[in-house]
Structure 1
Amino acid sequence: MQFGIFTVGDRTTDPTDGSTPGEYERIKAMVTIARKAEEVGLDVFATGEHHNPPFVPSSPTTLLGHIAARTERLILSTSTTLITTNDPVKIAEDFAMLQHLADGRVDLMMGRGNTGPVYPWFGQDIRQGIPLAIENYALLHRLWREDVVNWEGRFRTALQGFTSTPRPLDGVPPFVWHGSIRSPEIAEQAAYYGDGFFANHIFWPKEHTAKMVGLYRRRFAHYGHGTPEQAIVGLGGHVFMRRNSQDAVREFRPYFDNAPVYGHGPSLEEYTRETPLTVGSPQEVIDRTMSFREYVGDYQRQLFLVDSGGLPLKTVLEQLDLLGEEVVPVLRKEMESLRPAGVPAGPTHAARVARRDAEAGA
């Protein structure tokens, strides 16, 4: 199983001292966080894609390309690549280029994002969000698998005899996750292609996540990709830790109360009770994370959010130390001991190339 972190790249004011990181500071901090993730033994670093303040990661492949040059084994991914407002041709070329530069340590997560105005900024209509996601990915899927593509659709000009360059590394495209919080159509899309399904698993109760993952698993099997248990599932999660639970709650409360996505609504206690947000000791994070498999089954990737809401970089790096030293080693051992034979491990480029070659030789 793969463990890692994802960032949304927000520049939020720290409510404890009133400071707000500049764009340069926040971008550099994300690089530091990624390198620290590799140092402490995590497997994945993923970045969001946003095109509006207070966020900075408007160009994920630029950021990930820089991180690729400064890491050796970390899988570099996105926690959203906007399939609705990016040109599929540009996605195909950008991520294939990144795949070569990173020696295959690349995958990506397709999503529609959470910022409605991004649609007109890029010349699209938000009312066509689901159709755009479906059509654009159908094209992207072909661009990575066919050397010459002829294409005609609703939302972009036709392609005639087009070849996307560079071609995917070793002839194997980057692995794709389809991320969604609430849309069953996206779970269906992931199942249709036999791709991964990533449930953000932050804002909604566990019952909702269980329904979405269950739908994806059933449809994955329906399309002939394997058993429901063999479907490729990823989960998000938000944690804040101190060795003493009371210290964690006391320190995190002002960040929760003032966070743009959490604040001024339910209390911290209500939110941690009703959603997977976990604020407490490393053991509490272990126990809560282990409980996820009780309602989604054995899964392949767990990504934690640890750097949002104005937390200072020093605190984020301390969170990574706790993840790497006390949480992930236990989770990795326990999850692996429970994983039945036949349930696949997390996707890697090397494993996918080996599988392709084995199937070709069979």
Structure 2
Amino acid sequence: MQFGLFSVGDVTTDPTTGHTVSEHERIEAMTAIALKAEEVGLDVFATGEHHNPPFVPSSPTTMLGWIAAKTEKLRLSTATTLITTNDPVKIAEDFAMLQHLSNGRVDLTLGRGNTGPVYPWFGKDIRQGIPLAVENYHLLRRLWREKNIDWEGKFRTPLQGYTSTPAPLDETPPFVWHGSIRSPEIAEQAAFYGDGFFHNNIFWNSEHTQQMVNLYRERYEHYGHGAADQAIVGLGGQVFIASTEAEAKRRFRPYFDNAPVYGHGPSMEDFTEMTPLTVGTPEQVIEKTLSFADYAGDYQRQLFLIDHAGLPLEMALEQVELLGTEVVPVLRAEFERRRPAHVPSNPPTHESLVAQGRESMHHRVAPAQDLAAAGQEGN
């Protein structure tokens, strides 16, 4: 199983000191956290994509390329790559280039994002979010798998005899996750292609997470990619760790109470009860995280959010250290002990996809009309 971190890259005032880091300092903090993740044995670092304050990671592949040059084993991913407002041609180019620079240590999570105004900023209509996601991804798959493409769709100018460069490393595109917290159409899309489904459930209760993941699993099996419990699932998580529960709550409460999105809302205790948030000892984090599989099934990737809400860098690095040394080794052993032999331990990697060969399901491009029909069938 893969364990790692994701960062949304928010610039938030530290409520305990009143200090707000600069954008430059926040970017440097994100890269320092990624390097620390490799140092302590975590598998993945993922960055979000935002184009508005108070967030800084507007160019994920630039950041991940820098991290790739400084690391050897760390897998580089995105918490969201905006498939709706980015041009699929540019996504194809950027991530193929990152593949080459990282020797294949890259995958990506496609999503629609959570900032409505981004659509008109990039000339798109938010009311077309789902059709954009469907059409743009179908084009992206073709760009990574075909040469001399003739293509015409609804949302961008046609392509005639177009070949994307560079071609993916070893002619094998990066593995794709489809990220969604509430759109069954995206779970359907992930299942149709046999891609991964990442449910970033940090704001959601277990019942909702179970419903979304089960939909994806059922449709994955329906399309003939394998049994439902073999579908490739990733989940989010959020933790703050200390030697005692009381100490963890004391230290984290000011950040929770003033956090973007949920600050000044439910109490930390209520939020912990309702969502995957764990504020406590390593043992409590282990117990809560292991429970995710009770309702989501055995899954392949677990990413934690630890560096938001104004948390200072030294505290974030301390959290990474505790995750890597006291939490994740136990989680690895326990998740694998309970996993059935026929269920994949890890999501596909570049190496495993290359080994599958050019005739594998991962390389195929389904006709667009097949996907349209699948969407109607799934409704």
> What's the counterpart of residue 59 of structure 1?
59
CA distance in 1, matches of 2:77, 2:307: 17
> What's the counterpart of residue 24 of structure 2?
24
> What's the counterpart of residue 347 of structure 1?
348
CA distance in 2, matches of 1:114, 1:3: 24
Partner SS for 1:237: strand
> What's the counterpart of residue 377 of structure 2?
none
Partner SS for 1:176: strand
Q: CA deviation at 1:355?
A: 2.2
Q: Are residues 1:225 and 2:225 paired?
A: yes
CA distance in 2, matches of 1:240, 1:262: 16
CA offset digits 1:175-234 (Å, max 9, x no partner): 000001111111000001100000001111010000000000000011111110110000
CA offset digits 1:262-281 (Å, max 9, x no partner): 11111111110111111111
Partner SS for 2:237: coil
> What's the counterpart of residue 7 of structure 1?
7
- Residue type matched to 2:353 in 1? R
TM superposition score normalised by structure 2: 0.94
> What's the counterpart of residue 372 of structure 2?
none
CA offset digits 1:130-182 (Å, max 9, x no partner): 11111100100111111221111110011111100000101110000000111
- Residue type matched to 1:19 in 2? H
Q: CA deviation at 1:358?
A: 9.3
Where does structure 1 lack aligned partners over 5 or more consecutive residues?
A: none
CA distance in 2, matches of 1:275, 1:283: 18
> What's the counterpart of residue 169 of structure 1?
169
CA distance in 2, matches of 1:357, 1:149: 18
CA distance in 2, matches of 1:149, 1:232: 30
Greater CA drift, 325-334 or 256-265: 256-265
Runs of 4+ in 1 over 4 A off after TM superposition: 357-360
CA offset digits 1:70-123 (Å, max 9, x no partner): 000000000000000000000000000000000000000000111100000000
CA offset digits 1:284-308 (Å, max 9, x no partner): 0000000000011110000000000
Alignment of 1:80-229 (within 5 A): 80-229=80-229
Where does structure 2 lack aligned partners over 5 or more consecutive residues?
A: 362-379
> What's the counterpart of residue 245 of structure 1?
245
CA distance in 2, matches of 1:4, 1:356: 28
Q: CA deviation at 1:337?
A: 1.3
CA offset digits 1:318-341 (Å, max 9, x no partner): 001110111000000111111111
CA distance in 1, matches of 2:336, 2:243: 25
Partner SS for 2:353: helix
Partner SS for 1:229: helix
Partner SS for 1:315: helix
CA distance in 1, matches of 2:304, 2:292: 13
- Residue type matched to 1:8 in 2? V
Q: CA deviation at 1:346?
A: 2.3
RMSD: 1.1
- Residue type matched to 1:38 in 2? E
> What's the counterpart of residue 368 of structure 2?
none
Greater CA drift, 188-197 or 337-346: 337-346
CA distance in 2, matches of 1:247, 1:358: 54
> What's the counterpart of residue 263 of structure 1?
263
> What's the counterpart of residue 322 of structure 2?
322
CA distance in 2, matches of 1:102, 1:153: 32
Partner SS for 1:236: strand
TM superposition score normalised by structure 1: 0.98
Alignment of 1:230-309 (within 5 A): 230-309=230-309
- Residue type matched to 1:20 in 2? T
CA offset digits 1:18-45 (Å, max 9, x no partner): 0111011011111100000000000000
Greater CA drift, 337-346 or 23-32: 337-346
CA distance in 1, matches of 2:51, 2:144: 26
Q: CA deviation at 1:357?
A: 6.8
> What's the counterpart of residue 337 of structure 1?
337
CA offset digits 1:341-361 (Å, max 9, x no partner): 12112221111111227969x
